[in-house]
Amino acid sequence: MRGRKILLFAAVSGICFLTACGDGNSWTLPGDMSRPEENGNVHPVTPVPLEEILSGSPVPAGQEGQEEQGRPEPAETELPTEPEPDPQEIHITISAAGDVTLGNYYDQGYWGTFRETYDKVQDPAYFFENVYDIFSADDMTIVNLEGPLTLAEERRENQTYCISGDPEYVKVLTAGSVEAVGMGNNHRLDYLEQGSADTVKALEEAGIPYAYDKYTGIYETAQGISVGFISVNEVEYGAVVEKYLKEGIAELQEKGCQLILACCHWGVEREYYPEDYQKTLGRKCIDWGADLVIGHHPHVIQGIEEYQGKYIIYSLGNFCFGANRNPEDKDCLIVQQTFTFIEGEKQEDARLKVIPCSVSSVTSRNDYKPTPAEGEEARRILERLNEYSRDLGLQFDQEGFPTD
């Protein structure tokens, strides 16, 4: 049909042009546009009546009334269709990193500290700049916020390392695409309840959910998956935290959370292997309904265990750690786990990936800028992780994935 419309338009346009060259009653070709014959004689072109043009293609003389023959009907072409993705299947990636202290400890001074660095760079995005692409590409990033964000001055007595940072340092988290924090650790109350309350206020104003002790947190991903989390301080409270964990998991289940994370501050500082109670408590968390157990406090990395098809990360090490100008062991981890949901139901195909990192982008000191390791450094850190995980029954390949 489109071809006929074009032909009609062209024909009518030609008529209008030719008519303009005639006397109004008949038309002639402008100039000498007669058709030459092979013998050199000139044969004038016979005009085609307008009625024939308007009725379709002109019919040659002597063939009026005959059907057009030999002209096939155009075939209908079907465009190839791509299979539509299942709108009910989605994948959620959770990133977990270790101890984050946004500030200094009391009597640490100013030179070379987190506070001096913050004042110099004048850019909260500086601190997580090297891991931003990782955190911004996932669905949720969670860290252990160790130390209050407060201007309070009254602090715990008889404690050497009382840590604090200004409330505005919360911008480091938002600029770094950190969506949630655990506060269940042995530094939450360094500046007493006032310091804890100021931290909660700063987090709430920044829109960052948090959890500690009996207070659970919930984060909803862009895909509508509800992720609940608990954060406990086993270092100071011991087995009392079992009540928080068991009841918190049950509470989050009742609220309809589709994923549950248990964040445990536990173990012995600078020990590379978990205590027996860490292993006992981590497995209990999964038995109670946690989907992933995230551990920290030792300030060094520890192994990872698979239990009942789920993972227990015993220690991620430090991350953005303002409480130490130059930690001797700078190795740390980002651990990612991807979960699949079909029609809102979690499937048993969770995938784990370890990203080896350093707490600093330079080796000579701590510049408070966690950085993914590459090449030989990455392999070295993964080899350490494999050593610490061997007795737990898990090993990782050079890409950071568990081996079969």
pLDDT digits (tens, 9 = 90+) for 185-219: 999 999 999 999 999 999 999 999 999 999 999 99
Question: Are 200 and 194 a contacting pair, CB within 8 Å?
Answer: no
Q: What is the pLDDT of residue 68?
A: 45
pLDDT exceeds 60 at position 259: yes
* Residue range 360-398, pLDDT digits in tens: 999 999 999 999 999 999 999 999 999 999 999 999 999
Tell me the whole-structure pTM to 2 decimals. Answer: 0.79
Q: What is the pLDDT of residue 160?
A: 83
DSSP-derived pairing of the beta strands 104-105 and 331-342 = unpaired
Q: What is the pLDDT of residue 242?
A: 98
Work out the burial of residue 377: count CB atoms within 10 Å of its CB; fewer than 13 is exposed, 13-18 middle, 19 or more buried.
middle
Rounded Cα gap, residues 306 and 233, in angstroms: 23
- Separation of first and last alpha carbons in the chain: 62
Residue 392 is which amino acid? Answer: L
Question: Are 139 and 225 a contacting pair, CB within 8 Å?
Answer: yes
DSSP state of 151: -
pLDDT exceeds 70 at position 33: no
Question: Are 296 and 98 a contacting pair, CB within 8 Å?
Answer: yes
Positive/negative CA dihedral, 219, 343, 248, 92: negative
Rounded Cα gap, residues 385 and 77, in angstroms: 58
Of 128, 130, 108, residue with least CA distance to 118 = 128
pLDDT exceeds 50 at position 34: no
What secondary structure does DSSP assign to 24-92, as a single string?
SSS---SSS-PEEPTTS-EEPPPPPPHHHHHTSSPPPTT-TTPPP-S-PPPPPPPPP-PPPP-TTEEEE
The residue extents of the domains of the chain are 1-30+48-55, 89-392
* Residue range 289-341, pLDDT digits in tens: 999 999 999 999 999 999 999 999 999 999 999 999 999 999 999 999 999 99
Work out the burial of residue 24: count CB atoms within 10 Å of its CB; fewer than 13 is exposed, 13-18 middle, 19 or more buried.
exposed
Question: Are 384 and 401 a contacting pair, CB within 8 Å?
Answer: no
Q: Work out the pLDDT band at 78, boundaries 50, 70, 90.
A: low
Beta-carbon count within 10 A of 76 CB: 5
The C-alpha angle with vertex 400 and arms to 102 and 305, in degrees rounded to 5, equals: 80
Bin 9: left if φ > 0, else alpha if -120 < ψ < 50, else beta: alpha
Of 105, 182, 99, residue with least CA distance to 370 = 99
Determine the topology of domain 89-392 in CATH: Purple Acid Phosphatase; chain A, domain 2 (3.60.21)
3-state SS class at 271: coil
- More confidently predicted of 60 and 219: 219
Q: What is the pLDDT of residue 225?
A: 97
In the chain, the percentage of residues whose pLDDT exceeds 70 is 78
In the chain, the percentage of residues whose pLDDT exceeds 90 is 75
DSSP state of 283: H
3-state SS class at 197: helix
Q: What value does the mean pLDDT of the chain take?
A: 86
DSSP state of 105: E
pLDDT exceeds 60 at position 67: no
Rounded Cα gap, residues 346 and 353, in angstroms: 18
Paired residues of 230 in beta bridges = 262
